[in-house]
Amino acid sequence: MKKLAEKASILVEALPYIRNFYGKTFVIKYGGAAQTDEVLKSSFAQDIVLLNYIGIHTVVVHGGGPKISRTMEQMGKKPTFIHGQRVTDRETMDIVEMVLAGIINKEIVNLINSHGGKAVGLSGKDGGLIKAKKKLIKKFSPDSQTEEIIDPGLVGDVEEIDPSILHTLKEKNFIPVIAPVGYDREGNTLNINADYVASAIAGALRAEKLILLTDVEGIMDEKGNLISSIRASKAEKLIDRVIKGGMIPKVQACISALKQGTSKTYIIDGRVEHALLLEIFTKEGIGTEIVL
């Protein structure tokens, strides 16, 4: 009876959150261990399906860098990076699109559907969803004491989001699963950072929440302790001091989404089973909340 009572208390704790979030939209960036570990993959899909069954509209944006690199190597092409950005020639772009919009996207769609959801796979090219512009990397040269411009190839930044197709899918209660591939004004296909795509989509939809699943607990302070909540203005000041490496684009993505109208953003540990439910439906939550 005690265990049954504990289960009931969990449901009661979740009730006000279910009531508050009913009909709202959450954008979720899916990546890291949660995208490769079989147990975590299953718990993620269950979380997504549950959220939709209780009236929360979810939009999933996924990455897939490690699988792209493995596929490139299998095809005899060595991955090359500049400042963490994949150098993408036309042959590499074909591989990127095949892996992201084909293999990985359909795996996630099938995973969600196998748990009772209604997922639909998209890339940013579908319905004109993601219009992009070519990305150029600025690098300071100590030799010339000037800033150099580096061209990483078919790599883009989000220029504009047209959420029309997402609104249509929402009306029919489908779950969009989006590969971070866009197109530019000349019709070129561009590879885009998935964190920035999730941020731009959250902003365009005025989402209630943007949640980024990562392989770390969240943002840590100077002593290595988890920061449970932080204002965007303070987070910006911590970039390059405490916030470094791969965490920088995630924090920047959260701040950008907030400035575009997203209510709250989160960086959470996707290595924890049912991380989404723990963040959304418990008072303590997990990971780091970033707010304006």
- The dihedral region occupied by 23, where left means phi > 0, alpha psi between -120 and 50, and beta the remainder, is left
Q: How many residues appear in the chain?
A: 292
Q: Residue 79 contacts by C-beta under 8 Å, 6 or more apart in sequence?
A: 68, 69, 72, 73, 86
Strand partners, 230: 290
- How far apart CA 139 and CA 222 sit, in angstroms, is 27
Strand partners, 214: 269
Beta-carbon count within 10 A of 171 CB: 8
Q: Number of C-alpha atoms within 13 angstroms, CB side, residue 131?
A: 9
Q: Where do the H-state alpha helices sit in 89-172?
A: 90-97, 105-114, 164-171
Instruction: Enumerate the active-site residues.
Output: 29, 32, 65, 195, 250
- How far apart CA 59 and CA 202 sit, in angstroms, is 9
- Return the H-helix or E-strand segment holding 229: strand 229-231
